[in-house]
Amino acid sequence: MEQKTCQLSKTHRKTAGKKFVSVYRVTLVKDRKVSFTQGRLNNSAQAQPLIRKLVETQGQPDREQFCVVLLNAKNQIIGLNIVSTGDLVGATVHPREVLKPAILANACAIVLCHNHPSEILSPSPEDIAITERIIQASKVIGIQVHEHLIISTQSDQYYSFADSGMIRKIYDEIN
């Protein structure tokens, strides 16, 4: 089988006329606002009502929604993003989609969150696996993951990965 190599100079010479390359401008667009009384997050109990309100007012609470809270160096909220909308039992989540708004907003840290429409708030193996992948990716680019919450949209109940020690355990394993 013939092996092909990339030779930009030969390709360029064979082309009659000019070639153009797209130039992109990357921006973060503010869609709307969600009211919240706390300016700074100190614990998971403060994050839960904010995410619940985001899912109820801007999302689809009957489906699983994966969200990210963007924080500055003082843990002040600088933005929210619904990363993915799934179905009744899950949502497809990729670390690049979670980290994209964090990078664009110059976030120093993030809080991950999703709802379980089933109201069973314990983490699934997939929840744990995606948390590990996001933490690994965020560590490379210097963004701290403070928390991952699984919330109920029917009550004030939630599950905290940080409070259960899972976030610390994941960081300890990758160091």
Domain assignment present for residue 66? The answer is yes
For the sheet with 144-151, list strands across it. 77-85, 65-71, 109-115, 144-151, 158-160
Domain assignment present for residue 14? The answer is no
**CB-based contacts of 136: which residues, under 8 Å, 6+ apart?**
95, 174
Phi, psi (degrees; rounded to nearest 5) at 110: -140, 155
Domain assignment present for residue 12? The answer is no
Local structure of residue 154 (DSSP, 8 states): S
* CATH code, domain with 130: 3.40.140.10
What total number of domains does the chain contain? 1
Domain assignment present for residue 24? The answer is no
Domain assignment present for residue 23? The answer is no
Closest among 69, 73, 52 to 61, alpha carbons compared: 52
Would the pLDDT of 10 be above 80? no
68 and 101 in contact (C-beta within 8 Å)?
A: yes
Domain assignment present for residue 10? The answer is no
CB atoms within 10 A of CB 28: 14
Domain hosting residue 79, numbered range: 34-174
More reliable by pLDDT, 76 or 41: 76
Instruction: Give pTM, 2 decimals.
Output: 0.81
Domain assignment present for residue 134? The answer is yes
> pLDDT by residue (tens digit) across 77-91?
998 898 998 888 888
> pLDDT by residue (tens digit) across 104-133?
999 999 999 999 999 899 999 999 999 999
Domain assignment present for residue 22? The answer is no
